[in-house]
Amino acid sequence: MTTRETGPTSARRDWQGANLTYLALQLEYLKERLRRTIDGPSAGEDLASAHEAAIRAQRDAAIAAGRPPALDLLATLFGLTPIECDVLLMTLAPDLDDSFAAVFASAGDSRRRRATLALALALHRDQPGALGLLDCLLPGRALRRFALVWSRETPDSMAWSVAAPLFADERISAYVRGANIRERRLVQITRPLEGGIEAPGHAGAIAAIAQALAPGARNWPVVRIASSSCADASEAAQAAARRADLALVALDLPQLVEHRLEWDELFAMLAREAALNRRAYWLDAGEASTADPALRATAEQVLRELEAPILMFAGVPFGQEIPSRTVALPRLDRSAQKCAWESALGPMRGQINGELDRIAQQFDLGPADIGRAVSLAKTRASTRAASGDDPALRGDDLWAACRERSAMRLDDLARRIEPCYSWDDIVVPPPILAQLREIASQVDQRARVYEAWGFGEKLGRGRGISVLFAGASGTGKTMAAEVIARHLDLDLYRIDLSGVINKYIGETEKNLRRVFDAAERSGAILFFDEADALFGTRTEVRDSHDRYANIEVNYLLQRMEDYTGLAILATNRKQSLDQAFLRRLRFVVDFPFPDVDHRRKIWQRVFPTAARTETIDTNALARLEIAGGNIRSIAVNAAFLAAAADEPIATIHVMRAAGREFAKIERGISAAEFGPYAEAIRR
- The bridge status of strand 492-495 relative to strand 414-417 is antiparallel
Q: Is residue 323 part of a domain?
A: yes
Q: Hey, is 568 helix, strand or coil? A: strand
- In the chain, how many domains are there? 5
CA distances in angstroms from 221 to 229, 304, 309, 518, listed in the order given: 22, 11, 6, 32
At 535-556, the pLDDT tens digits run 655 444 444 444 445 555 667 7
Top mean-pLDDT range of 197-201, 258-262, 342-346, 419-423: 419-423
Q: What are the phi and psi torsion angles at 526 (to 5°)?
A: -90, 135
Does the residue 3 lie in any domain?
Answer: no
Q: Which of 344, 376, 392 is the last residue of a domain?
A: 392
User: Domain holding 671: CATH number?
Assistant: 1.10.8
Residue 505's pLDDT is what? 52
Q: What is the pLDDT of residue 24?
A: 93
pLDDT, tens digit (0-9, with 9 covering 90-100), for 67-112? 999 999 999 999 998 888 989 999 999 999 988 888 888 876 666 7
Q: How far apart are CA 341 and CA 331, in angstroms?
A: 15
CB-CB contact of 639 with 649 (8 Å): yes
Contact in structure between 362 and 446 (CB atoms under 8 Å): yes
pLDDT of residue 291: 67
The mean per-residue pLDDT over the stretch 342-359 comes to 82
Q: Are 634 and 656 in contact, with CB atoms under 8 Å apart?
A: no
Say whether both 572 and 430 belong to one domain: yes
- Cα–Cα dist 539/172, whole Å: 72
Last residue of a domain, one of 328, 357, 378: 328
- Please report the pLDDT score of residue 116 as a whole number: 84
Statement to judge: residues 491 and 620 lie in one domain: no
In the structure, what pLDDT confidence band is assigned to residue 452 with cuts at 50, 70 and 90?
Answer: confident
Exposure string (b/e) for 523-558, b if CB count within 10 Å is 16 or more?
bbbbbbbebbebbbebeeeeeeeeeebeebbeebbe
Confidence grade of residue 217 (pLDDT, cut at 50, 70, 90): very low
pLDDT per residue as tens digits for the range 559-617:
777 778 898 988 888 877 767 677 778 899 999 999 999 999 999 999 998 999 988 99
Same domain, 22 and 169: yes
pLDDT at 45 over 80: no
| H helix or E strand, kind and range, residue 49 | helix 47-64
Other CB atoms within 10 Å distance of the CB of residue 51: 17
Whether 374 shows a pLDDT value over 70: the answer reads: yes
570/603 same-domain check: no
Higher pLDDT, 546 or 271: 271
Residues of the chain with pLDDT > 70: what percent?
A: 84
Q: What gap in Å lies between CA 314 and CA 312, rounded to an integer?
A: 6
Domain that holds residue 677: 596-682
pLDDT at 335: 84
Task: Give the pLDDT band of residue 657 (cuts 50, 70, 90).
Answer: very high
The answer to whether 628 and 427 have CB atoms below 8 angstroms apart is: yes
For residues 319 and 340, state if they share a domain. no
Q: Is the pLDDT of residue 529 over 70?
A: yes
Per-residue pLDDT, 319: 65
Q: How far is CA 76 from the centre of its chain?
A: 37
Render the burial of 2-21: b for 16+ CB within 10 Å, e for the rest: eeeeeeeeeeeebbbebbbb
What rounded mean pLDDT belongs to the chain?
A: 83
Task: Give, in order, the Cα–Cα distances in Å from 439 to each of 277, 445, 531.
Answer: 57, 10, 19
**Helical (H) or strand (E) element with 587:** strand 587-590
Largest CA-CA distance found in the chain, in angstroms, rounded: 134
Q: How many CB atoms lie within 10 A of CB 468?
A: 23
Please tell me the predicted confidence (pLDDT) of residue 161: 75
% of the chain at pLDDT higher than 90: 34
In a domain, residue 161? The reply is yes
Per-residue pLDDT tens over the stretch 501-522: 665 556 777 777 888 888 877 8
| Domain limit, last residue, from 290, 313, 328 | 328
CA-to-CA dists, residue 370 to 168, 376, 468, angstroms: 46, 10, 32
| CA–CA dist 143, 175 (Å, integer) | 15
Distance in angstroms between the alpha carbons of the first and the last residue of the chain: 110
Residues 301 and 369 both lie in one domain: no
Lowest mean pLDDT among 139-148, 211-220, 569-578, 645-654: 211-220
142 and 203 inside one domain:
no
Pair 295, 189 in one domain: yes
Decide if 407 is inside a domain: no
Q: Which residue has the higher pLDDT, 222 or 110?
A: 222
Q: Tell me the C-alpha distance between 206 and 196, whole Å.
A: 10
With respect to residue 399, please indicate whether it lies within any of the assigned structural domains: no
Evaluate whether residue 494 is within a structural domain.
Answer: yes
Of 156-170, 307-321, 654-668, give the range with the top mean pLDDT.
654-668
Of residues 4 and 529, which shows the higher confidence score? 529
Q: Do 159 and 213 sit in the same domain of this protein? A: no
- Confidence band (pLDDT; 50, 70, 90) for 231? confident
111: left (phi over 0), alpha (psi -120 to 50) or beta: alpha
Structure pTM? 0.73
Q: What is the CATH number of the domain that holds 250?
A: 3.40.50.300
Same domain, 15 and 161: yes
Coil, strand or helix at 600 = helix
Over residues 415-441, the mean pLDDT reads 93
439 compared with 132, residue with greater pLDDT: 439
Q: Do 602 and 664 share a domain, yes or no?
A: yes
- Between 260 and 155, residue with greater pLDDT: 260
The more confident residue out of 88 and 386 is: 88
The predicted model gives 660-682 an average pLDDT of 85
Amino acid of residue 619: N
| Residue 80 DSSP SS3 | coil
Report whether pLDDT(626) > 90: yes
SS3 sequence of 143-178: HHHCCCCECCCCCCCCCCCCCCECECCHHHHHHHCC
Does the residue 67 lie in any domain? yes
Residue 292 banded pLDDT, cuts 50, 70, 90: confident
Q: Tens digit of pLDDT for each residue in 145-182?
A: 898 988 865 555 555 677 888 888 889 999 999 998 88
536 & 467 share domain: yes
Residue 408 included in any domain? no
User: Residues near 478 by Cβ (< 8 Å), separated by ≥ 6?
Assistant: 417, 527, 529, 570
